[in-house]
Amino acid sequence: MRPVEVDVPAILRDGIGRSAGGAAWIDQLPELVDRAVERWGLELGEPFRTGYASWCAPSTALGGRDAVLKIVFPHDEARHEAHALRAWDGRGAVRLLDDAPEDWALLLERVRPGTPMTAWDATAAERLAAGADVHRDLCGPQADRRSFAPDDLQAALPSVLEVCRGWADLLADRASRAAVEGDLDLDPGLLALAVTSLRDLPTSAERDVVLHGDFNPGNLLSATDGRWVVIDPKPMHGDPTYDLWPLLSQVDDPFRRAGSADVLRPRLALLADRTGLDAQRIAAWSVARACEQALWTWAELGDLALANRELRGAAVWASLVG
């Protein structure tokens, strides 16, 4: 039987669909979706129009259960998504109902209403508090990686230590090249602090937990019972404070006005209080990750204005360390 036609959202065709690998994957989607429908007895709705690296559609599974079918474009960051969701088992994260690793297919619970935190009409402090509570569910004392069942550990999640060691070397190399080219507003002391932090923070962590890896407000959805849950993990394991910079920097734009340090200082305190983590480590990770992001923007996007804005933000974070 010929596979049914699959509606492919523009965000996929115009994104990964422009690469050879992405175009080939899109060509395979009808077969992948057909297999998932047959495997789980699904009735599918129209696909969601968001998501640049996966095809997702609401569905009804056997027994009438509300679900979402997610077919992921194969890439390393998403390789262990199912393992992380299985380890969390609905605690702070969308629940995994089943998966088919050979097809990069996941059957997930449907989160309703599913409003992303970015669309929530709330203050930055309210968003931070809600996000902090989810982070505590994911990474609190009960979430030590060693407490998970052996099957979960066999995912062999990448470690923050290994990832950041590579980032530190790359950041140092990019900073050297940028200094020669002279088109960035570089502060050598700031970049040295970032490189040192990327190397030292992972080794000084007191705990080792399964991390989301992309803990930003767009990946936090509202659930019917008043909870918030995360979706789309890019999991690693390591220091729980690593994950908090995207939340802090994206609940709104803290750098859009003068006095950014005065805006961020109470937010750091709130986040530290709600998560039980150290405010200084959160700030130090923010310096490191903001600098890494800025030099990536310069090297990969060639966007000098944005890279310089990101470096100015990193300098504000640095003023909150120590």
31 vs 64: CA distance, rounded Å: 24
**Global pTM exceeds 0.85:** yes
Q: Which residues contact 293 (CB under 8 A, 6 or more apart)?
A: 310
Q: DSSP letters along 104-163, please? A: TEEEEEPPSEEEEGGG----HHHHHHHHHHHHHHHHSGGGBGGGS-HHHHTT-PPBHHHH
In angstroms, what is the C-alpha Rg of the chain? 20
Q: Residue 26: is it exposed, middle or buried by C-beta count within 10 angstroms (0-12/13-18/19+)?
A: middle
- Say which residue, 257 or 239, is predicted with more confidence: 239
Task: Please give the pLDDT value at position 31.
Answer: 96
What's the mean pLDDT when you consider all of the chain?
92
**pLDDT-based confidence at 243, cuts 50/70/90?**
very high
Closest CA to 253 of 303, 306, 177, 174: 306
Catalytic (active-site) positions: 214
Structural class in CATH, domain 10-110 = alpha beta
Is residue 237 within 8 Å of 210, Cβ to Cβ?
Answer: yes
Is residue 235 within 8 Å of 84, Cβ to Cβ?
Answer: yes
Peptide bond into 188 cis (omega under 30): no
229 vs 225: CA distance, rounded Å: 11
Is residue 77 within 8 Å of 234, Cβ to Cβ?
Answer: yes
Ranked by mean pLDDT, which of 64-68, 83-87, 168-172, 181-185 comes out on top? 168-172
Task: Please give the pLDDT value at position 2.
Answer: 52
Percentage above 90 pLDDT, the chain: 82
* Average pLDDT, integer, range 298-304: 94
Task: Please give the pLDDT value at position 154.
Answer: 42
Q: Which residues contact 138 (CB under 8 A, 6 or more apart)?
A: 88, 91, 92, 93, 209, 210, 211, 212, 230
**pLDDT tens for each residue of 130-172:** 999 999 999 976 666 555 554 455 457 899 999 999 999 999 9
What are residue 222's DSSP bridge partners?
A: 228
Q: Could you state, in order of their start, the residue ranges of all structural domains in the chain?
A: 10-110, 115-319
Structural class in CATH, domain 115-319 = alpha beta
